[in-house]
Amino acid sequence: MNIYFDNSATTAPNPLVCDAVADAMSNVYGNPSSLHRMGKTAEDFMTDCRARVAKSIGATAEEIIFTSGGTESDNTAIIGYCTANKRKGNKIITSKVEHPAVLEAFKFLEHSGFEAVYLDVDENGRVDMDHLARELTDDTLLVSVMHVNNETGTIQPIEDIASAVHAVGAIFHVDAVQSYGKIKIDVKKLGADMITVSAHKAHGPKGVGALYIRKGVRISPIIHGGGQERGLRSSTENLPAIAGFAKAADIMTENFDKSVSAMCGVKNYLKDKLTSTLPNITVNTPEDSVCSVLNVSFTGIRSEVLLHVLEDKGIYVSSGSACSSHKKGRSHVLTAMGKRDNIIDSSLRFSFCGANTLEEASYAVDVLSEQVPILRRIMR
Amino acid sequence: MERVLLVRYGEIILKGLNRPIFEDALMRNIRHRLRNEGKYKIYKSQATIYIEPAEGDDQTDRIHEKLKKIFGIVSIVVAYKTEKSMEGIYNIIPDSIGDVLKNAKTFKVEAKRSDKKFPLKSPQICEEVGGFILDNYPNLTVDVHNPEVVVHAEIRDDNAFVHTGREKGIGGMPVGTGGKAALLLSGGIDSPVAGYMIAKRGVALEAVHFFSYPYTSDRAKDKVLKLAGIVSEYVGKIKVHVVPFTEIQVQIRDKCPEEYLTLIMRRFMMAISERIARENGCDALVTGENLGQVASQTMLALGVTNDAVDMPVFRPLIGLDKNDIVEMARDIGTFDTSILPYEDCCTVFTPKRPATKPRLEKVVKYQQLLDCEKLIEEAVAGVETIIV
């Protein structure tokens, strides 16, 4: 049995997405910048894809630029905006639980003279609104907070943050990589000025993402060249991946309710069963979190070990976030939430997609209730 | 302009009647290491190995790089080959060593003549070549005591060679001339360095790695294979024996007192390595142990581990400081791989308070709580061997 519970790391591409990629690659290979007919066909095709991706978050096509993925969108939004608008202020604010794509972009700006503030979070990983209120000043240029946390599934109060940020005239960027396809995103309602999304977290291809930039927000490019994407992201357009992204966006919108309810079912089942069958289990994911993430600590067992035990039984999960498990040191997210070391060291992330089933969850519960007591006895 | 590589070997020359054995081993190792480097001529003459690449400059550079990593080579000279005449030597000087001569102030010439029929004798060759250089490089004066550049002119049987001196080779003895040993390779910083040091003394290596899936992962195993691969750039092909170790670790954890976990585990590792070594024609074990580095490497602890085997155990890092070991690992090229953060078999089951002054009788008594022979046999039977 092969059970993929690591959908926050990446998702299986939908077969229709693969077809769309292959089709665009074979048949629409003209360069959208070429003047001839094949170039025009490619350009028209791009325009259509852009509109479909835009529609999936309630934006207009003019407000979307395609990038190589979430990391590039985050960097473009943060570094691009601050570079272009230096005169408007020097303070930039984010939270301690962001993805490294945001945190490292902030550190980069800090080195070049900006004053960066990293907001505290509460025990559920939610941004401390009082801390934010204290830090928001007229000098604040940009605030960046993620919609859904990749490690814990915590949902941030984006709309409240948006109004606070706009009250001091600053710009608000939201990394929505983990909420895309799990929470309905409507750019107007959310109130963010820039939003990052990525295709491969929603059954699309890797290597493509989008950045929503509200009309009127001016940014500088971080990649310079031939002037594609309105000069904001030069490089010949990755049409096959963009075609796959558009297809994934269509499917996501169409199946939204069904897949969210499937994820909720799996998550709640797993959470209830684990906490009722196994002693000393800590659920790190808060109550009202996203449907796709369940973070649980199996106290006493190092997460890497349990991860490989599960892998041996065909169940794939993550320890902390996949990106940070390559680095030494503990999860910065759980640390910021004030979790104790033994909770952090034993935490596993189960993350779901609409295709996961209760049977899979039930098998995972069986494996865990068999293996956890054995491991606890051995590892003492 | 043809370049030729001259390889000299030091210590081997002292081997008396056994010298040809060592020379042949070095030639064999060089040939093996250059097997994918295209066509070249290799021969030895007067305690020098000549390698004449046949495919141009790039090939010469590639071969040069490889030679720098072959044990037994004390120095490498890149010489320019020319026609066997004074004219030939004059003709090649500007293009070959001209730049070096232009940037120096003092020089001298050393000449060697192995073809005694050549019309000029060595001192005369020196004089003539020196005169030619003085005429053509007005920036230079002769200094026979402390010259910046020494120009070597060598007259051999078929050709003449010009060069400006040798660079140090890696040294040591040709791998294989000192037998074969089994290296306990963990994935940390120390053991690859230990293997390198012993191989440098002419010893061929096989490696033994203990794999505790799921407590350690496939990535940890890949890391060890990668380390073996880096060491094999110096040593030649290495057989890596991957031993399934989970059952033994679990049983120790289950049945033995916590403070002795690591020591009993180490004793198992030594015993299993010894068996694998004997089965594969290795006559010693090599470990990266280093006195006082961790609890299992105190003098008494090493005594307890050593007792588990009858074979000689080489611990070349025993008296080094960690800093020195790290520096060597960087030079060899294993450091960056060694520090990749995957769990290894030694860190998963670490006791909170390990015994630092263990008594052998006690450790042996606790170890006997387990069915040692059966566990060892099963582990050895499950070995997976990978050649890198």
Quote the pTM value: 0.82
pLDDT of residue A322: 42
Report CB contact under 8 Å: A308, B258: no
pLDDT of residue B347: 61
Q: Is the dihedral of CA A11, A151, A273, B343 positive or negative?
A: positive
Residue in A210, A245, A189 with CA at minimum distance from that of residue A62: A210
| A311: nearest CA partner in chain B | B214
* Structural domain span for residue B157: 3-170
pLDDT of residue A321: 43
Residues 343-362 of B with CB under 8 A from A: 343, 348-349
Domains A3-9+256-379 and A15-251 share a fold: no
B193 with B134, same domain: the answer is no
Give the count of beta carbons closer than 10 Å to the beta carbon of residue B65: 10
Report CB contact under 8 Å: B343, A304: yes
Is 90 exceeded by the pLDDT of residue B303? Answer: yes
Best interface-test mutation with B: which of A298, A303, A308 has the largest number of B CBs within 10 A?
Answer: A308
Catalytic site positions of A: 323
- Domain end among B140, B170, B200: B170
Is 90 exceeded by the pLDDT of residue B218? Answer: no
B215 with B328, same domain: the answer is yes
B64 with B192, same domain: the answer is no
Q: Work out the angle between the directed axes of helices B218-235 and B322-332 (0-180°, nearest 10).
A: 80
The one-letter code for the residue type at B342 is: Y
| B250: nearest CA partner in chain A | A378
Report CB contact under 8 Å: B217, A304: yes
Structure tokens at B71: 């044990």
Give the mean pLDDT of A329-341. Answer: 92
B202 with B333, same domain: the answer is yes
| B175 domain residue, yes or no | no
Residues in A touching B216 (Cβ below 8 Å) = 308
Residues in A touching B253 (Cβ below 8 Å) = 378-380
Min mean pLDDT across A112-126, A137-151, B353-367 is at B353-367
Residue in B151, B169, B171 with CA at minimum distance from that of residue B161: B151
Give the mean pLDDT of B142-151. Answer: 94
B210 with B278, same domain: the answer is yes
| B215: nearest CA partner in chain A | A305
Run of H or E including B41: strand B40-45
CATH of the domain at B211: 3.40.50.620
| B350: nearest CA partner in chain A | A379
Q: Which residue has the higher pLDDT, B376 or B57?
A: B376
Report CB contact under 8 Å: A380, B253: yes
Report CB contact under 8 Å: B341, A326: yes
B7 with B79, same domain: the answer is yes
CATH of the domain at B92: 3.30.2130.30
Give the mean pLDDT of B26-38. Answer: 93
Tokens 């588990």 correspond to what residue? B308
Report CB contact under 8 Å: B213, A308: yes
Is 70 exceeded by the pLDDT of residue A380? Answer: no
Contacts of B360 (CB under 8 A, 6+ apart): B303, B304, B307
Could you tell me the fold of the domain covering A3-9+256-379?
A: Aspartate Aminotransferase, domain 1 (3.90.1150)
Is 90 exceeded by the pLDDT of residue A271? Answer: yes
- Domain end among B139, B170, B201: B170
Where are any strands of DSSP class E within B156-199? Answer: 160-163, 167-171, 180-184
B166 with B185, same domain: the answer is no
Give the count of beta carbons closer than 10 Å to the beta carbon of residue A215: 9
Residues in B touching A380 (Cβ below 8 Å) = 253, 258
CA distances from B208 to B186, B269, B272, B277, B283 (A): 8, 9, 9, 9, 14
Give the mean pLDDT of B84-99. Answer: 94
- Cβ of residue B257 closer than 8 Å to a chain A Cβ: no
Query: What is the rounded distance in angstroms from the CA atom of residue A121 to the CA atom of residue B224?
Result: 40
pLDDT of residue A330: 85
Is 70 exceeded by the pLDDT of residue A76? Answer: yes
Report CB contact under 8 Å: B343, A327: no
Q: Where are chain A's structural domains?
A: 3-9+256-379, 15-251
Summary count for chain B: helices (H), strands (E): 14, 15
Residues in B touching A309 (Cβ below 8 Å) = 214
Structure tokens at A209: 């993402």
pLDDT of residue A325: 45
Q: What is the pLDDT of residues A157-175, one digit of tens each?
A: 999 999 999 999 999 999 9
Decide if B154 contacts B114 (C-beta within 8 A): yes
| B97 domain residue, yes or no | yes
- Cβ of residue B341 closer than 8 Å to a chain A Cβ: yes
Q: What is the pLDDT of residues A223-257, one digit of tens each?
A: 999 999 999 999 999 999 999 999 999 999 999 99
Report CB contact under 8 Å: B214, A326: no
Residues in A touching B342 (Cβ below 8 Å) = 304
| B150 domain residue, yes or no | yes
pLDDT of residue B348: 62
Residues 202-241 of B with CB under 8 A from A: 213-217
Query: What is the rounded distance in angstroms from the CA atom of residue B1 to the CA atom of residue B314?
Result: 47
B249 with B209, same domain: the answer is yes
Residues in A touching B349 (Cβ below 8 Å) = 379
Pairing of strands B167-171, B180-184: unpaired
Residues in A touching B258 (Cβ below 8 Å) = 380
Report CB contact under 8 Å: B348, A326: no
Average pLDDT across chain B, whole number: 92
B147 with B213, same domain: the answer is no
Q: What is the pLDDT of residues A34-45, one digit of tens each?
A: 999 999 999 999
pLDDT of residue B294: 86
DSSP string, B21-39: HHHHHHHHHHHHHTTTS--
Report CB contact under 8 Å: B215, A311: no
Residues in B touching A328 (Cβ below 8 Å) = 341
B207 with B143, same domain: the answer is no
Report CB contact under 8 Å: A308, B217: yes
Structure tokens at A311: 């892998």
Q: What is the pLDDT of residues A194-213, one digit of tens each?
A: 999 999 999 999 999 999 99
Report CB contact under 8 Å: A305, B254: no
Best interface-test mutation with B: which of A301, A305, A367 has the largest number of B CBs within 10 A?
Answer: A305
Report CB contact under 8 Å: B349, A379: yes
- Cβ of residue B251 closer than 8 Å to a chain A Cβ: no
Decide if B240 contacts B228 (C-beta within 8 A): yes
Decide if A180 contacts A146 (C-beta within 8 A): no
B80 with B120, same domain: the answer is yes
Query: What is the rounded distance in angstroms from the CA atom of residue B15 to the CA atom of residue B25?
Result: 13
B192 with B327, same domain: the answer is yes
Closest-CA distance, B326 to chain A, in angstroms, reads 19
pLDDT of residue B354: 87
- Domain end among B152, B170, B188: B170
**Number of residues in chain B:** 388
| A379: nearest CA partner in chain B | B349
Chain A and chain B share a number of CB contacts under 8 A equal to: 30
Q: What is the pLDDT of residues A319-331, one digit of tens each?
A: 864 434 444 578 9
Give the count of beta carbons closer than 10 Å to the beta carbon of residue A282: 16
**Which CATH number applies to A15-251: 1.20.140.10, 1.10.490.10, 3.40.640.10, 1.10.760.10?**
3.40.640.10
Helices (H), chain A: 15-27, 37-55, 70-84, 100-111, 129-135, 158-167, 187-190, 239-277, 303-312, 332-336, 341-345, 358-379
- Cβ of residue B135 closer than 8 Å to a chain A Cβ: no
Give the mean pLDDT of B65-93. Answer: 94
Q: Which of A302, A328, A379 sits opposite B341 (nearest CB)?
A: A328
Contacts of A287 (CB under 8 A, 6+ apart): none
Closest-CA distance, A303 to chain B, in angstroms, reads 10
Number of domains in chain B: 2
Closest-CA distance, B338 to chain A, in angstroms, reads 13
